[in-house]
Amino acid sequence: MYVCICQQVTDHDIREYCESNNASLSQMRKDLGLGSDCGRCAKLARQIMHETMDQMMSTGVDIKSIAYAA
pLDDT tens-digit series, residues 13-41: 999 999 888 778 889 989 999 988 998 99
Domains of the chain: total: 1
- Rounded to 5°, angle at Cα 60 from 52 and 45: 5
CATH number (domain holding residue 39): 1.10.10.1100
Strand-pair partners of 10: 2
pLDDT tens-digit series, residues 40-69: 999 999 999 999 988 888 876 555 555 555
The whole-number pLDDT of residue 67 equals 53
61, containing H or E segment: none
14 near 28, Cβ under 8 Å? yes
Owning domain of residue 51: 2-67
The whole-number pLDDT of residue 70 equals 46
